Every structure is written in C-alpha cells, then in structure tokens.
Structure 1
Amino acid sequence: MIVLDHLSTDSTREVLAGITAEDPRVHLGTYQDPAHRQARVMSYLADRARRAGADWVVLFDADEFWCAQGGTVAEVLGGIEGARVAAAALHDAHPDGPEGVDLTAAGSRLLVETEPNTEKVAIRPEGWAWVDMGNHSALDLARSAPSELRILHIPYRSLGQMRAKAVNGAAAVRADTEFGPRVADHWKRLADYDGEIEREWAEATAPRRPVAEIGVPAPGATWEDVLGGGTTS
C-alpha cells in the first residue's frame, strides 16, 4: 500500500508513520505542492504500484471505505477476467445529525444512501495509465466493467471539517492554472458565498435520497456487513 500525505495539519502523518513502522507493506510519502494535481499524482502512484508487482491497483481517497458484495475486494478483483478497469459503485454516507460524527467513537451511526451516485475505478495496467481526476476513469484504458465492488464515501464528518475541506479545496484548485473555471466549482461556491457551507451541511445531515442507518464498518467488512442490521428510510 502506498499512502501519500498531502499537507495534512492534524495527526494524520504521525498515525501513518506509526503504521508504516509496524507494517513493511505500507509505504508513506509526502506531497508538498498546494495545487490540486490529483490526476497526475494518482497516475504516478498507480505506476509505482504496478512496477512494484501489483496486479490490480485500487485508487482511493482517505474518506473512502472500499469493500465488495459477496466477498473481499481482493476476491472480487481476482475473479475478473479480461477487463483492465473495474467499476466500483460509490454510496455517499452522512452523519446522522447536525452535531456530526466521530468515526472512532463506539456506537457512531451513519446514513448511507442506498443508491450509488457515481462510480470510481480499480485498474489493471500493463504500463503507464492516465487516471482521470477523482479516480473515476483511466483515460487510456478500456471502459470500466461492472463489478461487485462498493465504496462507502464519508466526505463530511462535522461542520468545521466541511468548511476546511471547501476552503482548502477551492484554494488548491485555483493554485493549478491549468484548470478551467468550471472545474471543482462546487468547492469554490461553498468557499466564496456566505451561508453556502451551512446550507450544504444542513442538507448533508438530512439527506433527501433514500438512506439506511448503519454503524461504522470494521476493517475487512463486506458490503453485506456494512448494510447488515441497518434500518432503511
């Protein structure tokens, strides 16, 4: 596993350093450029993983929990024949109230949308592959094949964290002059207009789409485990 710390200001790097000291399979790097160059960075990391011997490369952000329906991620990927890109359905999850959620606290609950709203990909490259911004596709590989992969996406945990994400994200996008004015305009709108973050937080903690109430999944959980015992509304 290759983990890249991008200008974190909490204890993320220290936690990751502790993990790498205990597990030689985890490799930690640091990325200091404030600009949002995700596509380039993820393409590079995917190639490093390929050259290190990876068969499939799973591209994920820190706010994503990858799992699979009917088995583990490795089992599902190992059963895919022929395809070089596997699609993973992404389900947004939200705090169950305006006070937010502490994912490390026992008994914490989330509201997960029962229908996915986008997909991301795992790739099986034979050489360098350009990964699109957001890890939604690999530009020079074939179209993604459907799979049993699932992603639990938890982008917002508190109002303060949402505000920091919007402000930092907007600044990072503006720091890359190659982006057009419409790229990541959601972050820019939240950061630039009074009341937008509060409105977004209110919507996130009272989602309109059908949701299931779930607990915070344990490492190694399947999609059935994630939804197991949840209540739907």
Structure 2
Amino acid sequence: MIVMTILVKDEIDIIEANIKTHARLGVDAFVVMDNNSTDGTREKLEELSKKYEMTIIDEKGLYNQAKWMKKLAKTAKKIYNPRWVINNDADEFWIPKEGTIKEILSNTKGAVLTCQRYNMVLDESVSEGNFLDAKYYVANPVFYRKETQLTQEYPSIVLSKIGPKVITDPKGLLIIRGGNHKALHLRNLWDYWRHYDKIKRFDKIEVYHYVIRSYAQFEKHIINRKRLLESKKHVRMGPHYRRWVKLYNEGKLKEEFENRIVFKKDAVDVFKRYGIFQETNVGDIIKSSLSS
C-alpha cells in the first residue's frame, strides 16, 4: 500500500489537482493535515474524502512543519500500515518517468528513496491563475548563496537550487527533516550523516514544484509567513521567505513578482538556449487527471 501525506494551509487552487493526480497514479490513501485554512481548502478536502480514501487532521497550532510531518507519517503508519509513505506538499507533483507510482514502488526495495525536485516556471504566456499552462521547469538551477538571497535585489528564487524530497518505509523511520528533504531511518543511518547531494537519487520518479502559481496565491502565502515571523516563537524559515516578507512590508512584492518570478519571452529563450529551462508535459498530465 502507498500512502501520501500532505500538509496544507489555504491551497484551494491546487489541492484537488494534487489529490486526483496522485490517486490516478496509484496512491492508495491520503493523510492530510489542514492548518486553519480559510479559503475553502478544508471544505474541498471533506468533499474529496467522499471519493478517495483519506484521513483529515485539523491542526490549529502555529505552523511547525517538522513536527507535523512526523505526526503525519506516524498517523499513516498507524491507520494504513503502508509499504511506502510519500511525504508531500500541496504544490508538488510526483511524476514517474514511465508507468505509474504504484507500478514503480511495487517493484522497489529500500528504506528511503530520494527524488529530485524541480521548480516550475511562470512566464508571461501563462495568464493569472492558469498555472497548469506552464511549460517549463528549472532543469539546471542557479546556486545563490544564502547571504545573496537575503541581501541582494536581483536573485530569482525560482531559479535557485532546491532540495530533493523523500519517499520512506514507515517501519523503522526515525526522523523526517523539516522540509521533507531527508529522512533518518534505521536502515539508512550511514547515508544520513553524509550530505544529501552525495546520496544517490531515485531517478524513476521526479517531483515538480509549483512554488508560485499566481500573484494572489503568492501574496497570501507571504502574509502567512509574515504572521509566523512576527509570532513570539523562534521560527526556522528559508532566507528567500524572509526576503519576500521584507519586500511585502516595503510594498514591493508585486514588483518582485512581475520582474523576478514571471519570466519575459526573451529571458525564457535565453534560459532554454543554455539548458536552464526545459519543457515538460506535467501540466497536461495534471489536467487529464482533473478532467477524467
């Protein structure tokens, strides 16, 4: 059995596509945690749970990804006793190179499978809200330093390197790192202590990340991050989010979106020429799942 865990907060624009696509690709059940969504996400989950095998957890506390993803994994193990757990986010799609997720994982041994992840690209041909029309992903990212992401005006975080994601055997799982990029398992203790770039990727499944889908979604997400940063608790957060919160406070978030997130045709042509952008049919795969 394959179970997918998902942590959501205000993901009404994408959560249905996520559930339907992965169910069609062979995920048997979902364990979804909703953190105080106010945009209809929680109601959509209730609707989807009538068609798909799903356990919904309501979490009212202050956002804590590492703690909650571990809770999701434990819940998946307790309720479904699966062979594999896919630790997912609402904006990520796990696409097999051939066949289905079910077919691939049914014939795979191991404890932790580390899958490469890519950012999807919005360009000016993609109208507001129609993010599934995006045709390109960042195949070869830019390696911005942390200090650059925080202090410089020019970085495009969509272009930056992002960590892989993991599929785990819940039996023997000890720790899932905060962003689900790495897992400590009784059967992979040696690999865990090495840098994850040295761990061999499981190349039969790749993850496509729709990190920014529209300005409305982007702004709402940054407002949620701003509230988290302004809480009294210590918060671990990537430098790019801190930079975006700063830009929001300065009234410059829309400018950031238009100039460094949505790519003009000339820029797309250059990035294609040098292999930074490559084409993908992921959007068509998702659309077919929604229409079937």
Indicate if the aligned counterparts of 1:40 and 1:130 stay in contact, CA closer than 8 A.
Answer: no
Tell me the equivalent position of 2:70.
43
CA 29–96 in structure 1, closer or farther in 2 if over 3 Å, else same: same
Q: CA RMSD in A?
A: 2.6
CA 174–73 in structure 1, closer or farther in 2 if over 3 Å, else same: farther
| Match for residue 158 of structure 1 among 203, 214, 231 | 214
Aligned length: 213
| 2:43 aligned partner, one-letter code | E
Asked if 1:91 corresponds to 2:118, the answer is: yes
Shift in Å at residue 174 of structure 1? 4.8
Tell me the equivalent position of 1:57.
85
Identify, as 1 or 2, the structure richer in helix: 2
Name which of structure 1's ranges 153-162 and 211-220 shifts more when overlaid on structure 2: 211-220
Tell me the equivalent position of 2:24.
none
Asked if 1:179 corresponds to 2:208, the answer is: no
Indicate if the aligned counterparts of 2:174 and 2:185 stay in contact, CA closer than 8 A.
Answer: yes
| 2:201 aligned partner, one-letter code | P
Secondary structure, counterpart of 1:21 in structure 2: coil
Structure 1: runs of 5 or more not aligned: 222-233
| Match for residue 12 of structure 1 among 20, 41, 55 | 41
CA 145–80 in structure 1, closer or farther in 2 if over 3 Å, else same: farther
Tell me the equivalent position of 1:224.
none
Identity level (%): 23
Tell me the equivalent position of 1:226.
none
Residues 164-202 of structure 1: per-residue CA shift (max 9 Å, x gap):
11221232255372435xx32321211123325522542
Shift in Å at residue 95 of structure 1? 2.2
Indicate if the aligned counterparts of 1:87 and 1:121 stay in contact, CA closer than 8 A.
Answer: yes
Shift in Å at residue 115 of structure 1? 3.9
- Distance between the aligned counterparts of 1:220 and 1:71, measured in 2? 17
Shift in Å at residue 14 of structure 1? 1.4
Shift in Å at residue 5 of structure 1? 1.4
Indicate if the aligned counterparts of 1:37 and 1:176 stay in contact, CA closer than 8 A.
Answer: no
Shift in Å at residue 112 of structure 1? 1.7
| Match for residue 201 of structure 2 among 146, 152, 176 | 146
Structure 2: runs of 5 or more not aligned: 1-29, 142-160, 192-198
- Distance between the aligned counterparts of 1:220 and 1:139, measured in 2? 35
Asked if 1:198 corresponds to 2:255, the answer is: yes
- Distance between the aligned counterparts of 2:180 and 2:232, measured in 1? 18
Shift in Å at residue 70 of structure 1? 1.9
CA 175–211 in structure 1, closer or farther in 2 if over 3 Å, else same: farther
- Distance between the aligned counterparts of 1:89 and 1:192, measured in 2? 30
Shift in Å at residue 67 of structure 1? 1.4
Indicate if the aligned counterparts of 1:162 and 1:201 stay in contact, CA closer than 8 A.
Answer: no
Residues 119-167 of structure 1: per-residue CA shift (max 9 Å, x gap):
1101113145321111101134523652111111101111221121122
| Match for residue 128 of structure 2 among 100, 104, 107 | 100
Secondary structure, counterpart of 1:71 in structure 2: coil
Indicate if the aligned counterparts of 1:47 and 1:127 stay in contact, CA closer than 8 A.
Answer: no
Asked if 1:212 corresponds to 2:279, the answer is: yes
| 2:73 aligned partner, one-letter code | A
- Distance between the aligned counterparts of 1:122 and 1:173, measured in 2? 30
Secondary structure, counterpart of 2:49 in structure 1: helix
Name which of structure 1's ranges 95-104 and 61-70 shifts more when overlaid on structure 2: 95-104
Tell me the equivalent position of 2:243.
189
- Return the TM-score normalized by structure 1: 0.79
Indicate if the aligned counterparts of 2:82 and 2:170 stay in contact, CA closer than 8 A.
Answer: no
- Distance between the aligned counterparts of 1:220 and 1:128, measured in 2? 34
